[in-house]
Structure 1
Amino acid sequence: MTKSTKVLNKKKISFLNKINQQIFILFGLITIVCVFSDFYFENSNLTVPFIITALISFIITFFSIPILKKIKIKQIIRKEGPKKHLLKEGTPTMGGVFFIPTGIIISNIIYINNENYKIILTLSLLIVFFMLIGLIDDLISLKKKLNTGLTSNEKLILQFFISLIFIIICAFNNFIPNNIQIGNQSINIGNLIYPLGIFVLLSESNSSNLTDGLDGLLSGCSALIFTGLAISISIENQSIGETLAPFCIVMSGCCMGFLFLNKYPAKLFMGDSGSLAIGASLGGIALISNNLWSLLIMGGILAAESISVIVQVSIFKISKRIKGKGHKLFLMTPIHHHFELQGNKESQIVGGFWFITLLLVIINLIFFIKP
């Protein structure tokens, strides 16, 4: 081994160690928040569910990797994306079918005798069906050997149908309040909450799907947002806080356990089965707990990813119609690809987006939560 090779290997090992340090810092930070919540709030129970779920999620997804490799469930990279992403071709995918059910099963086992168990069951069904939509999309993509499975319209119709059923169930059981809480202000919008609810579920699931484009990006951001929702619910809504807050932290735990294998360089991708389910769970929890505004703030990165795509497409189409040639505002969308093409390292972008999400969670808790 030459001297230059040894230097390169040392740099690589140092770089990977820094990434591992970031993961453990994130895990430690969420654990500390859970411990503080359990100490500060009466009947809070977040620490043990978070740690246990993270551990089980890690173990299950770890053993899923050789299974997925054996049956050749491997990621297909779109040719239009950044060229260096072609190196990810062949990485096992559809990890969502392993870590998402982990969170759902643990939540149902813990709270099956809880008085608010119907809420957990309803959310679980929503998440499972969105996961199945993603699974169908992933399987079709693998069969076609392309990065696209279901068409946009097909996916949207399925998402709309499941969202509609979820909203109807919630309406009959009075799970969703008719007002939107923003700090000390409560805005009553009556029955408009139901079409808004469908919009939230569609937008959150697709925003999560767009965000899942870099190693560890969505899983890390989701772990933070779920934790933020858990604390928000514990502070604001004691009536369902004992049920929904732990449900949030269990979802955070399963994302965290997956993140240990999804970090750069990813050994496993979650696929649409994971990203669509995460988005649906965030939207469903926010609707039932009346935390739509909080989700908008804490999920700023998810919103930015979607908005970047909408803006890019709109500007391109308008400029093409007016000038005959389409123009782009960003080098590539979703926006994380724009930063990649500017020369930023993937791990730096992911770490930066995590930090922004952490700041947004803190801002929401300080300025927009009414004790």
Structure 2
Amino acid sequence: MGAKSLSTPKSFAPSGLSLLVALSSILLLGAIALDGFSGRFANGTDCLVFPLLTSGVISILLGWAVIPWLNRLKTGQIIREDGPQTHLQKAGTPTMGGIFFVPVAVSIALVWTQFNWETVAVALVTLSYGSIGWLDDWQVLRRKSNKGISPKTKLLLQIAVGILFALWLLWQQLPAITTISLPGFDLSLGLLILPLIVFVLAAESNATNLTDGVDGLAAGTGAIASLALAAIVAPSSPDLMIFCACLSGSCLGFLVYNRNPATVFMGDTGSIALGGALAAVGIISSNLWALFVVSGIFFIESLSVIVQVGYYKATKDETGKGKRLFKMAPIHHHLELSGWSETQVVGLFYAIAIFLGVLAFFIR
């Protein structure tokens, strides 16, 4: 049984610029609508729109200065030879773009919330995961191969940060942290929440990392998930709402350069930090269920890899070769190899991410 092809939507072929304009308009209008719905826009001190716009503009300006610097440092991306052949032309595009859009989101959020303890905690987790990603990116560039730090080392570092964060939350003795809010009821896990925290942080950061394989995909879906999470945590954690709005805006600013055809990639520096940030907000605000829903695209991407590997191992014959369920995993590569353009894949995933964000808001 071979991998099935999905027909290509020939009539739907947006450009990277049109996707950027559409997504920016949707998120900005969504932020304005949410502020109007909650009455926040009137005073302007804790609304979504201003931090989102501020982070977006500063991310654009900083990218204009940083990307040429990355080019001078010869941080060109090493492209996998076993990946889609159309990606080979991207070789040499500077990577490690997370070094400018992640700090923008973190620093603006910290200043805007006056270094509120929740924001500081989430910021530290975000920067810690970004540092793990930077270490991986640096090793890839230093060795001039696709292999950075080993997957085992990367996972151990992610787990270590997760354990420290979980222990800090335990030390803070926050009763709400041990409770997961599910539709219709709350589930108290007690100390069992600690291994769950570590798992969520590692899983989310690896999931966003896997999603970063097509121009504009991780940044755009990350912007959508961040704004949705901002709206969800707003009633109970306005400071975390600001953090998420800043993250969403910074991702949009990065998309100016990362849209197809990308002039910079976020690298593990950005993708792992993005997942760590979303997970930390979901954990500290006791919104793990909402986090799962808004992260649906990241979950699908991860699941496609897990299913692909599992199916291959389960169907191994006497020669040691197995069958593949997808042409290539993660699933965005399967769609590409089925004839979809990158912008068609990204457009579809944006639409799904927006739907999931709205769904999470109303079932929270």
TM-score (norm 2): 0.92
Shift of 1:324: 4.4
SS in 1 for 2:218: helix
Moved more, 64-73 or 318-327: 318-327
* Match for residue 290 of structure 1 among 282, 286, 304: 286
* Amino acid corresponding to residue 339 of structure 1 in structure 2: L
CA pair 174-255 structure 1, distance change in 2 beyond 3 A: farther
Aligned to 1:29: 26
Select between 249-258 and 291-300 the one with higher mean Cα deviation: 291-300
Measured in 2, the distance between the counterparts of 1:243 and 1:121 equals 10
In structure 2, what is the Cα distance between the partners aligned to 1:82 and 1:39? 44
Deviations 1:237-269 (A, max 9, x none): x342x2111111100011110011100000000
Aligned to 1:230: 230
Report the counterpart of residue 19 of structure 1 in structure 2: 16
1:230 positional shift? 0.8
Residue 118 of structure 1 corresponds to 117
User: Match of 1:162, as an amino acid?
Assistant: V
**Structure 2 residues without counterparts, runs of 5 or longer:** 1-12, 41-45
> TM-score when scaled to structure 1?
0.90
- Aligned twin of 2:308: 312
In 1, Cα distance between the equivalents of 2:185 and 2:236? 20
Letter in 1 for 2:103: P
1:276 aligns with 2:278: no
Aligned to 1:202: 202
- Deviations along 1:16-49, whole A, 9 cap, x unmatched? 7x43222112111111122122222244411111
1:329 aligned onto 2:325: yes
How far, CA to CA, are the matches of 1:354 and 1:204 in structure 2?
Answer: 18
Q: Which amino acid aligns with 2:17?
A: N
Match of 1:75 among 59, 74, 77: 77
Q: Which residue does the alignment assign to 2:6?
A: none
Identity of aligned residues (%): 37
One-letter amino acid of the structure 2 residue matched with residue 96 of structure 1 = G
| Partners of 2:289 and 2:328 in 1: CA distance | 29
The equivalent of 1:213 in structure 2 is: 213
Residue identity matched to 1:54: G
Deviates more, 1:255-264 or 1:323-332: 323-332
- Residues 334-345 of structure 1 correspond to what in structure 2 (within 5 A)? 334-345=330-341
1:257 aligns with 2:228: no
Deviations 1:99-143 (A, max 9, x none): 100111111111126xxx111111111111111111110010011
Q: CA RMSD in A?
A: 1.6
Aligned length: 347
Query: What SS does the corresponding residue of 1:337 show, helix, strand or coil?
Result: helix
Q: How big is the shift at 1:316?
A: 0.9
Distance in 1, matches of 2:84 and 2:151, equals 22
The residue that corresponds to 2:37 in the other structure is 40
**Are the counterparts in 1 of residues 113 and 242 from structure 2 also a CA contact under 8 Å?**
no
Partners of 1:239 and 1:51 lie apart in 2 by 23
Could you tell me which residue of structure 2 aligns to residue 103 of structure 1? 105
Task: Tell which has more relative contact order, 1 or 2 (C-alpha 8 A, sep 6+).
Answer: 2
Name the aligned partner's letter for residue 34 of structure 1. Answer: A
Measured after TM superposition, the shift of residue 232 of structure 1 is 0.9
- Residue aligned with 1:320, SS: coil
Are 1:92 and 2:89 an aligned pair?
A: no
User: Which amino acid in the other structure matches residue 265 of structure 2?
Assistant: F
Find 1:248's aligned residue among 217, 226, 244.
Answer: 244
Q: Hey, what's the Cα distance between the residues in 1 that align with 2:279 and 2:101? A: 19
2:16–2:261 Cα contact (<8 Å) kept: no
Q: Distance in 1 between matches of 2:118 and 2:170?
A: 12
Structure with more of its chain in helix, by fraction: 1
